[in-house]
Homo-oligomer: A and B are copies of this chain.
Amino acid sequence: MPSYTGPVDDLQFVIHDVLDVPAQNVPGYEDLERDFTAAILGEAAKISSEVLAPLNAYGDQTGVTLENGVVRTPKGFKEAFDQLRDGGWTGLDCDPEYGGQGMPYILSVATGEMFSAANQAFMMYPGLTHGAYSAIHAHGSDDQKSTYLPKMVTCEWTGTMNLTEPQCGTDLGLMRTKAEPQDDGSYLVTGQKIFISAGDHDMSDNVIHLVLAKIPGGPEGIKGVSLFIVPKFMVNEDGSVGERNAVSVGKVEEKMGIHANATCVMNYDGAKGFLLGEAHKGMRAMFTMMNEARLGVGMQGLSQAVAAYQNAVDYARDRLQGRDVTGAKNPDGPADPIIVHPDVRRMLMDQKSFIEGARAFGLWGGTMIDRARSAGDEEAEAMVSLLTPVLKGFLTDEGYDMTVQAQQVYGGHGYIEEWGMSQFTRDARITMIYEGANGVQALDLVGRKLGLKGGKTVMAFFELIKDFCKENAGKDAELDKAFLDPLKTASKQLQEAAMFFMQNGMKNPNHALAGSNDFMHLMGHVCLGYMWSRMAFAAASKLEAGDGDAAFYETKLATGRYYMSRRLPATAMHLQRILSGADDVMALDAANF
């Protein structure tokens, strides 16, 4: 059975030694001193390993069941949810006005990585609730806020997001669900929604569905979509839970993974709903929190890689098989632990160097969201908007690959469910799909985000890297060579790719779109290369100062060198593919595939 340990030291390193969060001029950050974050992260790590992780494999094996219209979650889930609620974790970064802890978002990123690593399927119940909370908080009337938010902050009531229908996924303009206005100002919502995560369950007193639907007579397509609050149980005047609304679970899907989360077909049969925000502006309301939601999924992808990696390391240290070709490392035993073998090392280093780079990238993204949200910094808002598709797409594509690598370390045992490694792979697989499939992320990046503010944001990104390199060049010849040189090369390749899109995408947009996935990965590597460079200089300065755990900083530098020499070179391949344009991609008639 796999285990999980929260990486508190590494989170602390990024938050304090790399990003120096308390010194950033963001409201709330001044409180995030080292001891304070250590206490919070330590407590979250404890819950993760002691409460959530032990339920993970069990939840996968048991799954959820639909009984008489109600979804039953695995035994122990409700008690774990109560512990999360009692500790105030569900409202960590929520508005104190509604009972939240009012902490900066970066703490949610850090604790969220741990919670999801311990039990992704479970964490989707509070996760979806948080999304619904955010939408109501941003767009709800005072009355809606006071009715729903206090209960959603505590997760006494949970939430869902209803977008997809059988005929419409990415293309929400094809939506058919209708919302007919009633005399009392409410709407009757009718239609079928699919893939509704946490759509129903037995762990809360109410489920508050946020539902996209079209008001008859409104604009065609995506411009006529509105957002509605549709509670499972109507809420009485006194705030208590009242009558059942006309919304029901049609089916619970059998999925490849996240078995313990209820992915529901939801049927709305004239269910009473309340307009959230303006009519026909539903997409805008639904996507207000898109950067956060997508960063959250990126962190899920990372989190499964972390959980899988930790167990792969344990296995590689314990499993005795073969001998170190340079001389036995365990001469008194029947064989050496497989961690001595170079190809096992390669797999573990791929994972470790991805994980630590991705963690820093995610936390950096978190600071930008805080900066945008609490300090009203528009440049930070633009920068995180640019990076969001990379955070989501790159971290989940790579995160998934790393779970596959971790499984591979186990050999045959990796394929047996009892050992638990298959679950990380199966659970991670969804992160590449939901919250906008990764192809849609790549399209968003190339089709929209590169042109953000007329290209100024992506230019600012390149400047950031350039400035960093300039600032640090010459401090240490070894770091120049191992980090700054390859970072500069990769960054130039990314610029060349962006230039190719500009020059060729005008006459034929397919020349840009055919390279979108490669661009997303190229940019992901540049971001991780940048993060690794920042971490390397931070570690080196700690070592120079003789401050802290030298082994930790040495390991950090060695892991970074691995990333720069072994992983970053993928950028040249991505560039070459991009520069080949669209012709070979689009050559075939659809009939000839």
Binding site for B on A (CB under 8 A): 164, 167-171, 173-174, 194-195, 253-257, 263, 313, 316-317, 320-322, 325-326, 334-335, 337, 339-349, 352, 400, 404, 407-408, 411-412, 414-418, 422, 425-426, 429-430, 432-434, 437-439, 442-443, 508-510, 513-514, 516-517, 551, 555, 558-559, 561-562, 565-566, 569-570, 572-573, 576-577, 580, 582, 584-588, 590, 592-593
Assembled-state Cα–Cα distance A588/B555 (Å): 7
Residue of A256, A430, A561 most packed against chain B (CB within 10 A): A256
Given contacts A555-B592, A561-B584, contact A254 B418 (CB under 8 A): yes
Q: Which residues of the other chain, B, contact A517 by a CB distance below 8 angstroms?
A: 343, 346
Which of B194, B317, B407, B408 is close to A439, meaning CB atoms less than 8 Å apart? B408
Given contacts A174-B321, A584-B558, contact A343 B439 (CB under 8 A): yes
With both chains docked as a complex, state the minimum distance between the C-beta of A302 and any C-beta of chain B, in angstroms: 17
Q: Which chain B residue lies CB-closest to A169?
A: B411
The reply to whether A433 and B415 contact each other, CB–CB distance below 8 Å, is yes
Assembled-state Cα–Cα distance A321/B352 (Å): 38
Q: Which residues of the other chain, B, contact A341 by a CB distance below 8 angstroms?
A: 439, 443, 513
The reply to whether A417 and B254 contact each other, CB–CB distance below 8 Å, is yes
The reply to whether A433 and B417 contact each other, CB–CB distance below 8 Å, is no
Given contacts A418-B254, A569-B576, contact A342 B585 (CB under 8 A): yes
Q: Which chain B residue lies CB-closest to A434?
A: B412
The reply to whether A516 and B439 contact each other, CB–CB distance below 8 Å, is no
The reply to whether A584 and B555 contact each other, CB–CB distance below 8 Å, is no
The reply to whether A345 and B514 contact each other, CB–CB distance below 8 Å, is yes
Which of B253, B345, B551 is close to A418, meaning CB atoms less than 8 Å apart? B253
Assembled-state Cα–Cα distance A334/B593 (Å): 23
Given contacts A317-B590, A345-B514, contact A171 B426 (CB under 8 A): no
CB<8 Å pairs between A and B, sample of 25: A170-B411, A174-B320, A194-B412, A254-B416, A255-B416, A256-B417, A325-B513, A326-B510, A341-B439, A341-B443, A342-B585, A342-B586, A343-B514, A345-B585, A349-B588, A407-B429, A411-B437, A412-B433, A414-B433, A425-B429, A561-B584, A562-B584, A565-B580, A572-B572, A572-B576
Q: Which residues of the other chain, B, contact A417 by a CB distance below 8 angstroms?
A: 253-256
Q: Top 3 closest A-B pairs, CB basis? A: A342-B513, A256-B422, A558-B587
Q: Which chain B residue lies CB-closest to A576?
A: B569
The reply to whether A426 and B256 contact each other, CB–CB distance below 8 Å, is yes
With both chains docked as a complex, state the minimum distance between the C-beta of A26 and any C-beta of chain B, in angstroms: 33
The reply to whether B256 and A334 contact each other, CB–CB distance below 8 Å, is no
The reply to whether A590 and B426 contact each other, CB–CB distance below 8 Å, is no
The reply to whether A514 and B253 contact each other, CB–CB distance below 8 Å, is no
The reply to whether B432 and A516 contact each other, CB–CB distance below 8 Å, is no
Q: Which chain B residue lies CB-closest to A421?
A: B256
With both chains docked as a complex, state the minimum distance between the C-beta of A126 and any C-beta of chain B, in angstroms: 21
Q: Which residues of the other chain, B, contact A170 by a CB distance below 8 angstroms?
A: 321-322, 411
Q: Which residues of the other chain, B, contact A566 by a CB distance below 8 angstroms?
A: 577, 580, 584-585
Q: Which chain B residue lies CB-closest to A437?
A: B411
Assembled-state Cα–Cα distance A577/B567 (Å): 8
Q: Which residues of the other chain, B, contact A585 by a CB distance below 8 angstroms?
A: 342, 345-346, 349, 562, 566
Q: Which chain B residue lies CB-closest to A570?
A: B573
Q: Which chain B residue lies CB-closest to A554?
A: B592
With both chains docked as a complex, state the minimum distance between the C-beta of A532 and any C-beta of chain B, in angstroms: 12
The reply to whether A443 and B412 contact each other, CB–CB distance below 8 Å, is no
With both chains docked as a complex, state the minimum distance between the C-beta of A347 and any C-beta of chain B, in angstroms: 7
Assembled-state Cα–Cα distance A344/B590 (Å): 11
The reply to whether B346 and A551 contact each other, CB–CB distance below 8 Å, is no
Assembled-state Cα–Cα distance A335/B326 (Å): 61
Q: Which residues of the other chain, B, contact A555 by a CB distance below 8 angstroms?
A: 588, 592
The reply to whether A587 and B561 contact each other, CB–CB distance below 8 Å, is yes
Q: Which residues of the other chain, B, contact A508 by a CB distance below 8 angstroms?
A: 326
Assembled-state Cα–Cα distance A585/B555 (Å): 12
Assembled-state Cα–Cα distance A506/B112 (Å): 48
Assembled-state Cα–Cα distance A509/B411 (Å): 23
The reply to whether A344 and B171 contact each other, CB–CB distance below 8 Å, is no
Q: Which residues of the other chain, B, contact A343 by a CB distance below 8 angstroms?
A: 439, 442-443, 513-514, 516-517
Assembled-state Cα–Cα distance A593/B588 (Å): 47
The reply to whether A433 and B418 contact each other, CB–CB distance below 8 Å, is no
Given contacts A321-B168, A345-B586, A411-B433, contact A326 B255 (CB under 8 A): no
Given contacts A415-B430, A429-B415, contact A342 B255 (CB under 8 A): no
Q: Which residues of the other chain, B, contact A587 by a CB distance below 8 angstroms?
A: 558, 561-562
